[in-house]
């Protein structure tokens, strides 16, 4: 309900003075997240980043390497050993996959039997097969992926994007984070959606799956929405008075934050109310099935957030850190995400939203073509793969990228790039480019230095641009 309407409807004994002041506050409150023009023509309006925390194995999902089977049990060549930092990895033996691979669609993209649903969307996907990152520990690597640097305190991609573009939603936060898990949490936690040194309204707001989707978004017991409005009006008027007394514009920000809070109180329940979704839609996302409920709900919420103009949506699924029991764990995790993410792509396409929404899928690094050499993983049937930063796979779909193609080629066992080596900063530059942002111009002056998401690197991956 709009403020004016509310006033007309309730007429709750407000004096004319207060009314005038109120209306002025409504139109005169500066919105720090007002939409801003991009540097370049934008292809995508929103981003949905499906972040696979813990790092899934590219070699058991997308990268079909017959030589991996052939060389199973052999040592890696010295040339490859030399590229590894960790001693124990150097002695690890090559490990074949127990998955079956098949090509799908006109694109001929390869998928393993773990992702039957995603495979049906093959021609919507664009693969980056030679991504690399700087570090093979989860937390710092997750920070590089999200914030461009392993250091704490840098803004995340979502924060940079809302800083650059603002938000088209007046009623919901510009950057929304949702999480789902098969057991273990996200190694890097909330530092992954930090606003760093940018203003705190750029920080990702988590939508929760238990209790209030946003903490305390429900009124206290007994307070109706009208009563809440009464309370807020009084808070605002008194705050306005204090702003006059102190001259502090920060009070304006507080008033704006209270107004957004109030709008969120109706926008969030509306967002999370699936009663108007068709049974077919709910079924396609797997919202009612135990296995797919968590990620399916988050995917459906992501679509609804896109429809409501939210700029950057990040879904975290954890954890893919399969040092051991790789087959068992990947079967479980893929079972949780495969159907929902395929449904998300299909649903966005059907609604004409895929062209303006960029979907990004991937983890903080990949996994080794060799077996894990620690303890439990050495038991038969419990094998796993270790962290691997030299080459891994991510895919994109939707706004701004050419569907059905791949960039980058790795060697026979998927250890390292042999063509088109890419870095995480290249991916970040490309995502920003699709949104109309020049990664070298999107900067923020902090402690005497102009910081940017891509740190000092990054080149737009032009080959995949639509």
Q: Which residues, numbered 442-461, are part of the site for another protein (CB under 8 A)? A: 447-449
**Residue 272 is a binding residue for another protein (CB under 8 A):** no
Measured distance CA(428)–CA(193) in Å, rounded: 15
Residue 11 neighbours by CB distance under 10 Å: 9
Q: Which residues, numbered 184-213, are part of the site for another protein (CB under 8 A)? A: 184-185, 187, 189-191, 199-201, 203, 205, 208-212
Residue 331 neighbours by CB distance under 10 Å: 15
Give the shortest CB-382-to-another protein separation in angstroms. 12
Instruction: Mention every residue, 6+ apart, whose C-beta is less than 8 A from residue 2.
Output: none
Q: Which residues, numbered 157-176, are part of the site for another protein (CB under 8 A)? A: 173
Instruction: Mention every residue, 6+ apart, whose C-beta is less than 8 A from residue 24.
Output: none
**Residue 253 is a binding residue for another protein (CB under 8 A):** yes
DSSP string across 165-216: H--S-SSS-SEEEEEEESSS--TTGGGGG--TTS-GGGSPEEPPSSSSSSTT
Give the shortest CB-233-to-another protein separation in angstroms. 8
Of 147 and 397, the one with the shorter C-beta distance to another protein is 147
**Residue 9 is a binding residue for another protein (CB under 8 A):** no
Q: Which residues, numbered 349-388, are part of the site for another protein (CB under 8 A)? A: 374-376, 378
Give the shortest CB-430-to-another protein separation in angstroms. 25
Q: Which residues, numbered 119-138, are part of the site for another protein (CB under 8 A)? A: none
Q: Which residues, numbered 393-422, are part of the site for another protein (CB under 8 A)? A: 412
DSSP string across 352-414: T-GGGEEEEEE-SSEEEEEEP-SGGGGSTT---EEEE-SSEEEEEEETTB-TT-EE-EE-TTS
Q: 3-class SS at 155? A: coil
Give the shortest CB-335-to-another protein separation in angstroms. 22
Q: Which residues, numbered 52-111, are part of the site for another protein (CB under 8 A)? A: 71, 74-79, 82-83, 85-87
Total site size for another protein, rule CB under 8 A: 87
Rg (alpha carbons) of the chain, rounded to whole number: 24
Q: Which residues, numbered 307-336, are part of the site for another protein (CB under 8 A)? A: 323-324
- What is the separation of C-alpha 303 from the centre of its chain, rounded to a whole number of angstroms? 13
Q: Which residues, numbered 218-247, are part of the site for another protein (CB under 8 A)? A: 218-224, 226-228, 230-235, 237-239, 241-243, 245-247
């Amino acid at each position: 309900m709009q403020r004016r309407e509310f006033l007309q409807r309730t007429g709750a004994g407000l004096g004319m003075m207060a009314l005038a002041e109120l209306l002025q506050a409504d139109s005169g409150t500066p919105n720090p997240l007002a939409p801003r023009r991009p540097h370049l023509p934008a292809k995508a309006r929103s981003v949905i980043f499906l972040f696979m925390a813990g790092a899934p194995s590219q070699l058991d999902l997308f990268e079909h390497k017959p030589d991996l089977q052939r060389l199973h049990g052999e040592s890696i060549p010295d040339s490859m050993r030399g590229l590894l930092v960790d001693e124990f990895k150097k002695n690890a033996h090559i490990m074949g996959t127990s998955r079956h691979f098949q090509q799908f669609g006109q694109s001929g993209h390869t998928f393993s039997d773990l992702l039957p649903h995603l495979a049906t969307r093959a021609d919507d996907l664009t693969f980056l097969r030679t991504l690399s990152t700087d570090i093979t520990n989860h937390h710092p690597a997750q920070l590089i992926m999200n914030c461009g640097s392993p250091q704490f305190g840098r803004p995340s991609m979502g924060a940079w994007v809302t800083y650059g573009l603002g938000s088209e939603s007046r009623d919901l936060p510009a950057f929304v984070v949702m999480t789902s898990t098969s057991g273990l949490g996200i190694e890097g936690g909330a530092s992954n959606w930090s606003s760093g040194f940018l203003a705190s309204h750029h920080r990702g707001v988590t939508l929760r799956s238990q209790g209030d989707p946003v903490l305390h978004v429900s009124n206290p017991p007994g307070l109706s929405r009208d009563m809440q409005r009464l309370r807020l009006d009084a808070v605002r008027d008194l705050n306005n008075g204090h702003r006059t007394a102190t001259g502090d514009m920060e009070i304006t920000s507080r008033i704006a934050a209270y107004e957004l809070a109030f709008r969120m109180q109706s926008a969030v329940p509306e967002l999370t109310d699936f009663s108007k979704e068709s049974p077919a839609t709910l079924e396609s996302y797997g919202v009612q099935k135990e296995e797919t409920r968590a990620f399916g709900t988050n995917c459906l919420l992501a679509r609804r957030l896109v429809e409501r103009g939210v700029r950057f949506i990040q879904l975290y699924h954890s954890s893919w850190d399969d040092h051991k029991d790789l087959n068992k764990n990947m079967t479980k995790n893929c079972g949780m995400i495969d159907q929902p993410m395929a449904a998300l792509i299909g649903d966005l396409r059907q609604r004409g939203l895929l062209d303006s929404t960029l979907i990004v899928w991937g983890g903080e690094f990949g996994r080794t073509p060799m077996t894990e050499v620690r303890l439990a993983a050495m038991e038969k049937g419990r094998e796993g793969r270790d962290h691997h930063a030299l080459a891994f796979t991510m895919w994109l779909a939707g706004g701004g990228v050419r569907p059905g193609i791949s960039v980058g080629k790795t060697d026979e066992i998927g250890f390292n790039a042999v063509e088109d080596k890419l870095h995480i900063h290249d991916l970040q530059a490309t995502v920003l480019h699709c949104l109309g942002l020049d990664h070298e111009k999107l900067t923020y002056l902090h402690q005497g230095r102009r910081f940017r998401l891509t740190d000092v690197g990054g080149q737009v991956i032009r080959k995949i641009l639509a």
